[in-house]
Amino acid sequence: EVRLVESGGGLEQPGGSLRLSCEASGFTFLSYAMSWVRQAPGKGLEWVSTIRGTGDTTNYADSVKGRFTISRDNSKNTLYLQMNSLRAEDTAIYFCAKFGGYGGFDSWGQGSLVTVAS
Amino acid sequence: DIVLTQSPGTLSLSPGERATLSCRASQRVNSNYLAWYQQKVGQAPRLLIYGASSRASGIPDRFSGSGSGTDFTLTISRLEPEDFAVYYCQQYAGSPYTFGQGTKLEIK
């Protein structure tokens, strides 16, 4: 059974930093691209970033480019999102998601709440 | 960037009825790399359809996807009480992997 468990969320001040983690199990982690998707309170889904299985290719939404960094440690089956220069508009539930072998994001974590406020 | 526009914003139907949800892309979605997700309150999204028309594992056959190019449709043939939720389309043909704004399917 595929399992994705996020951690690292919390309350941070504007301009601060947080690092989210997503521990994966139940599949061959290095074989799959992984993504972060966020959802602001009461809003829709927003794709944030994707990293390929080998970690050599990354993509970012314009809204986070230059502030967020996605990475992975395939030896630990863990995905990360380093979030710097946080803004109020970054407040959201952050989901990690596995890119399915046939397409789409076929498995999701339960989400980690990030609140940016003073 | 590909912008996905879903319609209607809210759809009010009764159990047993047929639901038709639309997703229109601002430009062609290559290889029909279009997915549909269901999200219930307080839960993570669940993949329903990938490749525009292929059902994901464990998804009931009352859910079907169709379309190509710029126009895509999710159809739920006979609504069950558990189908009332928010539905999102997403293109994964190229970065940014954009989502539509969602269609809320509510009980009439």
Please tell me the distance in Å from B34's CA to the nearest CA on chain A. 8
Dihedral sign from CA coordinates of B43, B45, B47, B52: positive
Q: What is the mean pLDDT of residues A15-39?
A: 98
Q: Quick one: tokens of A21?
A: 């983690």
Q: Identify the residue whose tokens are 């464990």.
A: B58
Q: Does position A85 have pLDDT exceeding 90, yes or no?
A: yes
Strands in B4-7's sheet, in edge-to-edge order, are: B4-7, B19-25, B71-76, B63-68
Please tell me the distance in Å from B28's CA to the nearest CA on chain A. 17
Q: What pLDDT is attached to residue B48? A: 98
DSSP type of residue B49: E
Q: What is the mean pLDDT of residues B77-101?
A: 97
Interface test with A, best of B46, B47, B86 (most A CBs within 10 A): B47
Cα angle B65, A34, B34 (rounded to 5 degrees) comes to 20
Sequence-separated (6 or more) residues with CB below 8 Å from residue B45 = A37, A45, A95, A105, A108, B37, B38, B39, B88
Cα dihedral: B102, B103, B104, B108 (round 10): 180
A82 and A17 in contact (C-beta within 8 Å)? yes
Q: What pLDDT is attached to residue A9? A: 96
Q: What pLDDT is attached to residue B40? A: 98
Condensed to tens digits (0 to 9), the pLDDT of residues B23-79 reads: 999 999 988 999 999 999 999 999 999 999 999 999 999 999 999 999 999 999 999
Sequence-separated (6 or more) residues with CB below 8 Å from residue A7 = A20, A21, A22, A23, A112
Q: Does position A102 have pLDDT exceeding 90, yes or no?
A: no
Binned at pLDDT 50, 70 and 90, residue A101 comes out as: confident
B89 and B70 in contact (C-beta within 8 Å)? no
Q: Quick one: tokens of B102?
A: 């969602």
Condensed to tens digits (0 to 9), the pLDDT of residues B11-22 reads: 999 999 999 999
b/e map B29-65, b = 16+ CB within 10 Å: beebbbbbbbbeeeebbbbbbbbbbbbbeebeeebbb
Q: What pLDDT is attached to residue B46? A: 98
Q: Which residues pair with B91 in a beta bridge?
A: B34
Q: Quick one: tokens of A90?
A: 């970054």
B70 in contact with chain A, both atoms CB, cutoff 8 A: no
A1 in contact with chain B, both atoms CB, cutoff 8 A: no
Binned at pLDDT 50, 70 and 90, residue A86 comes out as: very high
Q: Does position A68 have pLDDT exceeding 90, yes or no?
A: yes
